[in-house]
Amino acid sequence: MAVRRILVCGDGLAAQMALTALARQVAPDTAILWVRAGDQRDGDLLYGSVTGPSAYGFNLAAGVDERQLVLGSDAAFSWGTRYAAWGAGRSWMQAFALPFPVIDGVVFHQYLARTGAGGIDPYVAGLQAARRGVFVHPPREAGGQHPLARAEYGYQVDPADYAALFAAARPADRVEVVEGAFAGAEVAGGRIAGIRLDDGRMVTADLYIDASGPAAVLGSGAPDGRRIGMAVRNEAGADEAPLRTVTATALGWQSATPLKGRTLHASVYAPDRPDEGALGRRVEATLGRRAQPWVGNCVAIGQAAGVVEPLTPAPMLLLERDIERLLSLIPVTDDCAVEAAEYNRRFADDYDHADLFQRAFFAVDGLPDGPYWDAARAEQVPEKLARKISLFGNRGLLVAYDLEPFHPEDWIILHLGMGRRPRRYDRLADRADKAQVAQFLTGMAREIERAVETLPPARVYRQQLEQFLRKAAS
């Protein structure tokens, strides 16, 4: 039997993004049904407040273009996240970036190690722009010779505001909203036979999408990681700086995310030691992933499949990947075994490799003591992460695994930002004249600095862009 009815169960960010993506991209003769399942707004806080550069392409494919984001939400542009006081007074800017130059077959950071340069900061255009609070869209002209050509950007968002964008962009005639609330699932032979509503009705489909948040009302097998608490509040007014700031505290960490006209503040802590100064909405969750998000004819996406601490853009990035993976594996028959196996394999790789990046933040000395930090440090360092840290520290070698969510440039900036310096460099870098290398690096840094000096404040650029878009639409 062909899959002709897909039912999405949930009422938060994951459900809205999945519904809109499905409505835009599955075959027109496939019915899409939506059953609400509780209020996921508090759980959605755990998606965090920053996306990666991949959000632009994902949104566009789902019918949410940047014009809608700029005019229809409080979202702001983002060069990345600044981490402050992260152990032993360590602070750095985790900026987005396109791949760094490869010169004569040698990756860029090996030349930094050879010349003894203090770090990579002067050579990352987005990082320098973030420090000044300025923004423009990176130029993408042929050749990529502009000093800002290798810069990348994401978005700073409020999850509820972001979800509303997808809801507004969804073709109304493509989704059948099922009146009534979720009351339970009927399971037979390892497959869902139907969804029971609070009025007793039964709704059936060929494929079920669990987008119900950490509750995972259609799934089984809860995560077994450490627990965290999170509190979020809004503060009126913002300088619209194009970066999120994360600061380590004795109780955990706090973040400040400038949006349009307001700042979103978040605190993350151990549940038994809440940050009493963090007023606002609160949520608790267990971190970790489910062993198999696709079982039978049911696929769990987003937090229904795994909960990720919003320390980096990982939660939003993994949600995008879940939906993209689902779209590529919509089964052609009701026997989903092959698709389920491939989905689960790729999901496990994505989640586990994103988790390496997250755990790398705690594989450093000088972090505070306390329940939150003790629990984070107590987690075993995966062998893959230990290999990444060891080989970079010994010889500047970047260990990469297939299709990692975080790219080599992300890891380079993270390693150097956390104070890791290679003891040796690639001897192939010795083929280049040392004076010429130093001259190249000096020139590159100077060009970036001069280009950034000419950019407008992020708020001014956003206002001018809004005026242009409204005028173009009139």
Q: Which domains does the chain have, with CATH numbers?
A: 5-76+158-223+292-355 (3.50.50.60), 97-151+380-458 (no CATH)
Q: Are strands 175-188 and 191-197 parallel, antiparallel or unpaired?
A: antiparallel
Q: Which residue has the tokens 């152990």?
A: 87
Contacts of residue 102, Cβ cutoff 8 Å, sequence gap at least 6: 108
Contact 110, 429 (CB under 8 A): yes
Instruction: Look at strands 175-188 and 31-36 and give their pairing.
Output: parallel
3-state SS, residue 387: helix
Long-range contacts of 191-198 (CB under 8 A, 24+ apart): 191/296, 191/297, 191/298, 192/218, 192/296, 192/297, 192/298, 195/7, 195/9, 195/35, 197/35
Confirm whether pTM is higher than 0.75. yes
Residue with tokens 């038994």: 272
**CA–CA dist 57, 349 (Å, integer):** 21
The phi, psi pair for 15, rounded to 5°, reads -65, -45
pLDDT one digit per residue (tens) for the chain, 474 residues: 678 999 999 999 999 999 999 999 999 999 999 999 888 889 999 999 999 999 999 999 999 999 999 999 999 999 999 999 998 889 999 999 999 988 888 999 999 998 887 789 999 999 999 999 999 999 987 566 889 999 999 999 999 999 999 999 999 899 999 998 899 999 998 899 999 999 999 999 999 999 999 999 998 777 889 999 999 999 998 778 999 999 999 999 999 999 999 999 999 999 876 656 566 889 999 999 999 999 999 999 999 999 999 999 999 999 999 999 999 999 988 888 999 999 999 999 999 999 999 999 999 999 999 999 999 999 989 999 999 999 999 999 999 998 899 999 999 999 999 999 999 999 999 998 888 888 999 999 999 999 999 999 999 999 999 999 999 987
CB distance 120 to 415 below 8 Å: no
Q: Rounded to 10 degrees, what is the CA torsion of 155, 46, 221, 216?
A: -80
Residue pair 294/336 in contact (Cβ under 8 Å)? The answer is yes
